[in-house]
């Protein structure tokens, strides 16, 4: 764990143009070996894939806070909403325009507090208040999501 942390730190210094023991050759070798330079981004990417799977199964991105099959996904979704709010307020946040576009492309709902199920169904393009049908552009066949998930 220390070695990995040290490699990431030296890589960051190299990218910033500061003195570093990291070399371009070492970067290439580590890249070739599949080294993960940004563990936070890698974790975020794993969760967006899990959210896509959830959307395919459930037709929306409204992961309940008590989602038993994957409680960490529920926590992540809540965190994305919090980070978005901070970003909107101009405060330090892990949210950025790219992540916002990606989440919104999945049909992510930023504000869910106080929404009745009928309002949620309508927001998702449902025609029947008791169903939550996502808009057609968010429907993905399971074979298509397998391709997306492998990214």
**Residue 114 falls inside a structural domain:** yes
- The reported pLDDT for the residue numbered 115 is 63
Q: Mark whether 58 and 111 lie in a shared domain.
A: yes
pTM: 0.62
Q: Please state, as a whole number, how many other Cβ atoms lie within 10 Å of the Cβ of residue 118.
A: 13
Q: Mark whether 98 and 145 lie in a shared domain.
A: yes
- CA separation for the pair 147, 16 (Å, rounded): 35
Average pLDDT over all residues of the chain:
81
Q: How far is CA 132 from CA 126, 127, 146, 150, in A?
A: 5, 8, 23, 27
Looking at the structure of the chain, the number of domains it has is 2
Q: Mark whether 52 and 113 lie in a shared domain.
A: yes
**Dihedral-angle region of residue 97 (phi above 0 means left; psi in -120 to 50 means alpha; beta otherwise):** alpha
- The reported pLDDT for the residue numbered 91 is 96
Q: Mark whether 117 and 59 lie in a shared domain.
A: yes
Give the residue numbers spanning the domain of 19. Answer: 2-32
**Residue 38 falls inside a structural domain:** no
């Amino acid at each position: 764990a220390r070695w990995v942390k040290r490699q990431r730190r030296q890589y960051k210094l190299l990218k910033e143009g500061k003195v570093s023991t990291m070399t371009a050759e070492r970067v290439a070798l580590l890249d070739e070996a599949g080294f993960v330079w940004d563990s936070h981004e890698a974790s975020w990417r794993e969760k967006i894939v899990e959210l896509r799977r959830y959307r395919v199964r459930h037709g929306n991105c409204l992961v309940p806070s008590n989602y038993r099959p994957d409680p960490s996904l529920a926590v992540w979704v809540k965190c994305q909403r919090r980070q978005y709010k901070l970003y909107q307020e101009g405060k330090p946040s892990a949210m950025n325009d790219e992540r916002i576009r990606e989440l919104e492309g999945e049909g992510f709902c930023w504000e869910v507090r106080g929404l009745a199920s009928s309002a949620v169904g309508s927001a998702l393009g449902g025609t029947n208040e008791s169903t939550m049908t996502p808009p057609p552009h968010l429907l993905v066949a399971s074979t298509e999501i397998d391709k997306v998930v492998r990214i």
